[in-house]
């Protein structure tokens, strides 16, 4: 492939990953458990949502650091 095609593919990959990251962050940020069910289940569900949000941020930052030198 030529340099132009490689650059376009790299840009496309970055855009796709950024979009995926944004979707995960928005989904985890806007999902609310509410007052349904026992309090223990709500605590577990909200903790799981926070874990998903933190994992998405860590994975994206790790990907940025890994591809920064290329």
pLDDT bin (cut points 50, 70, 90) of residue 47 is confident
Q: Residue 38, CB half-sphere, CA atoms under 13 Å: how many?
A: 3
At residue 1, does pLDDT exceed 80? no
Structure confidence at residue 69 (pLDDT): 55
DSSP 28-53: HHH----S-S-HHHHHHHHHHHHHHH
Classify burial at 69, counting beta carbons within 10 Å of its beta carbon; exposed 0-12, middle 13-18, buried 19 or more: exposed
Domain parsing of the chain, residue ranges:
3-67
Average of pLDDT values for 16-20?
81
pTM, 2 dp: 0.57
């Amino acid at each position: 492939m030529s340099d132009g095609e490689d650059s376009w593919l790299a840009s496309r990959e970055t855009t796709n990953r950024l979009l995926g990251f944004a979707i995960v962050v928005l989904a985890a940020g806007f999902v609310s458990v509410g007052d349904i069910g026992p309090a223990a289940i709500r605590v577990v569900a909200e903790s799981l949502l926070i874990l998903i949000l933190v994992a998405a941020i860590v994975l994206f930052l790790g990907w940025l650091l890994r591809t920064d030198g290329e």
